Amino acid sequence: MYLPALGYAAFYVDEGISAKDMKRPQLQQMLQDIKNGDINCVLVYRLDRLTRSVLGVAALAQWERENTGERIRMGLQEKVRQGKYAMNHVHSAIT
């Protein structure tokens, strides 16, 4: 499906399977597609549609935290590669 604001979209639906844990075929496929770089955005109607497990939510939060750090690091490396400043301000020490 093509969505003008987002580009191509796919639906991962585990119909009739409870969201009590993350052991669902379509959810696992979506997570693998994210790891493979095939997906750069996930939209969920409600978080409890993704998982109802507190551990599942915590795992997703940890995963997002790690990915955010990786994206920031890659962005800073790219700025350095382009010869731009990697930080928005200069730190100085007063001795």
Q: Using H for helix, E for strand and C for coil, what is the string for the chain?
A: CEECCCEECCCCCCCCCCCCCCCCHHHHHHHHHHHCCCCCCCCCCCHHHHCCCHHHHHHHHHHHHHHHHHHHHHHHHHHHHCCCCCCCCCCCCCC
pTM, entire model: 0.52
pLDDT tens for 46-71 read 777 777 776 677 777 788 888 888 88
Q: Residue 29 has what pLDDT?
A: 92
- Domain boundaries along the sequence of the chain: 2-81
pLDDT tens for 6-56 read 677 888 888 888 877 778 899 899 889 888 888 888 888 777 777 777 667
